[in-house]
């Protein structure tokens, strides 16, 4: 199996068109066998919006597409693929069938076709915190 290299980063200045400085940072968590599109699409959209992004894993030497990672969701409202709906509910979350769900600082979406809605929601949450 081949390790996938990250796409080239878009060029950006120290201050974006929206006035954010490089101090605006977002950490993206990845696990083994992550879904490439679900990591790289939000990462590139955040960088386009002027955020500095970093990927963080769980200590592995390399990460590849197609696997989830554990998270704490007790008492939260989330969406996900239908295939893990029961897992989300069993972890204590209220599962919602919607393209994107915002609960506090957590933004969730269902499938890769929902990524545009996810990116919009993610940027809305970050703008409220700026």
The answer to whether the beta carbons of residues 1 and 28 sit under 8 Å apart is: no
Longest CA–CA span in the chain (Å) reads 44
With tokens 């950006």, the residue in question is: 12
61-93 pLDDT tens trace: 666 666 744 556 778 898 988 988 887 887 788
pTM > 0.75: yes or no: no
pLDDT of residue 96: 96
pLDDT for 14: 40
Answer yes or no: is pLDDT of 106 > 70: yes
pLDDT value, residue 60: 67
Give helix 115-129 / helix 36-48 axis angle, nearest 10°. Answer: 40
- Number of other CB atoms surrounding residue 93 within 10 Å: 24
**C-alpha to C-alpha distance for 85 and 66, rounded to whole angstroms:** 17
CA distance 63 to 113: 23
Q: Residue-wise over 96-119: b if at least 16 C-beta within 10 A, else e? A: beebbbbbeeebbbbbeebbeebb
| Per-residue model confidence as pLDDT tens digits over 30-70 | 777 777 788 888 988 999 989 998 888 777 666 666 674 45
Q: How far is CA 7 from the centre of its chain?
A: 16
Q: How far is C-alpha 76 from the geometric centre of its chain's CA atoms?
A: 16
CB 6 within 8 A of CB 40: yes
């Amino acid at each position: 199996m081949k390790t996938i290299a990250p796409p080239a980063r878009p060029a950006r200045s120290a201050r974006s068109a929206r006035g954010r400085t490089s101090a605006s940072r977002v950490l993206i968590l990845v696990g083994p066998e992550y879904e490439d599109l679900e990591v790289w699409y939000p990462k590139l959209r955040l960088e386009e919006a002027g955020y500095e992004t970093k990927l963080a894993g769980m200590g592995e030497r390399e990460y590849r597409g197609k696997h989830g990672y554990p998270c704490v969701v007790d008492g939260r409202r989330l969406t996900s693929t239908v295939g893990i709906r029961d897992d989300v509910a069993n972890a204590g979350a209220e599962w919602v069938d919607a393209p994107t769900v915002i609960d506090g600082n957590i933004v969730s979406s269902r499938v890769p076709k929902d990524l545009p809605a996810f990116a919009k929601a993610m940027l809305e949450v970050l703008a409220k915190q700026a």
